[in-house]
Amino acid sequence: MISLISKPSRRQTLKGLACIGALCLSAMATAQNYPNRPITLVVAYPPGGSTDVAARSIAPKLGELLGANVIIDNKPGASTSIGTGYVAKAPADGYTLLMAVGSTLTLNPAIRPNLPYDPLKSFDPIGQVSRTGLVLIANPKVPINSVAELVASAKSAPDKWSYASFGTGTSSHFAGAMAFHAMGTQMMHVPYKGSAPAMNDLIGGQVPFAVDTTTAVLPQLKAGKIKALAVASPKRSPLMPQVPTFSELGYPDVKLESWTMVVAPKGLPAAVQAKLEKAFAGTMADAGVRKRLLDNGLEPSFSTPAQATALIESELPMMRATAVRANIQAD
């Protein structure tokens, strides 16, 4: 049989290797010159929310340290899947970043099987930005002032109480499911379309309990419009140090926070990754950035890429187990 596929000549082989080498050198040069144009930081929520606030708190300093403008691009919709999927498919060149949150990387994968991204395989973490405690709160007129009192009441009258979350499958829903499972109690879940309407109904007495973020809780707590029973953080929040953690109250497995981190499309060149990490570390060490985060109820929480990856890896199985146990399903 005569082969119709001819072998490349030595000259062709050397030419091909030269082209590959030139492409590699070009890619290295591009990475070394990074950044030479504006960088886009995608927020998968509308403007004004805590994730958007976190992004706008770090963007000016991050841009200053990188030597390029960092532009916020809000791409909300489909439970953050639109903006997140957009970044997952973007070139891995460091010019498109995502302000990711726990809901995107650990909660959505637990209840939504057909996401346009993989929480671990689609992204290279740059580092964590902030964390926000999730707090069990109550209307001031409810005759319960501690988790112990709530457990006793709920066990004696299982159908008496309900709690609000800011949406099915959100961090507040998961935190509530984790807490009431640990307590051995049952509470009717009342999902709202956002934190504001849930908080309004809690204050108005339409619902007795709720789970919400420290960011949303703090101003209402200071105004005396609600009371806080426990926070689902590993340690007490410096923003409300008087509120005990669930761990302190005997429920060590109730640990869930709402967090943000910056990630990039998977496959960043090493030189680009290094520049982003250095600038990000400097940004998170800046006193002005930390103050802006704290002023908006967000606790600065710097971490390395390895620590950020470990956070995702540890939360994913916990959230999947919680979703199955509590029958949490996507809307």
CA distance 210 to 222: 17
More confident residue, 140 or 25: 140
CA dihedral (204, 209, 214, 215) positive or negative? negative
Q: State the pLDDT at residue 22.
A: 46
Q: State the pLDDT at residue 17.
A: 55
Q: State the pLDDT at residue 186.
A: 86
Q: Domain boundaries in the chain? A: 38-131+259-326, 133-231
Residue 101 has pLDDT above 80, yes or no: yes
pTM: 0.82
Residue 7 has pLDDT above 80, yes or no: no
For domain 133-231, the CATH architecture is: 3-Layer(aba) Sandwich (3.40)
For domain 38-131+259-326, the CATH architecture is: 3-Layer(aba) Sandwich (3.40)
254-310 tens-digit pLDDT: 999 999 999 999 999 999 999 999 999 999 999 999 999 998 889 999 999 999 999
157-194 tens-digit pLDDT: 888 999 999 888 999 999 999 999 999 998 999 999 88
Assess whether the region 38-131+259-326 and the region 133-231 belong to the same CATH fold.
Answer: yes
- Give residue for tokens 């960088």: 39
More confident residue, 45 or 70: 70
Beta strands in the chain (DSSP E): 39-43, 70-74, 96-101, 123-138, 162-165, 188-191, 209-213, 227-231, 257-265, 299-300
Q: State the pLDDT at residue 29.
A: 47
Task: Give the residue-averaged pLDDT of 131-157.
Answer: 95
Cα distances from 9 to residues 12, 13, 18, 115, in angstroms, run: 5, 6, 14, 47
Residue 26 has pLDDT above 50, yes or no: no
Confidence band of 330 (pLDDT split at 50, 70, 90): confident
Burial class for 103, CB neighbours closer than 10 Å (0-12, 13-18, 19+): buried
Q: How far is CA 299 from the centre of its chain?
A: 13
Task: Give the residue-averaged pLDDT of 227-253.
Answer: 95
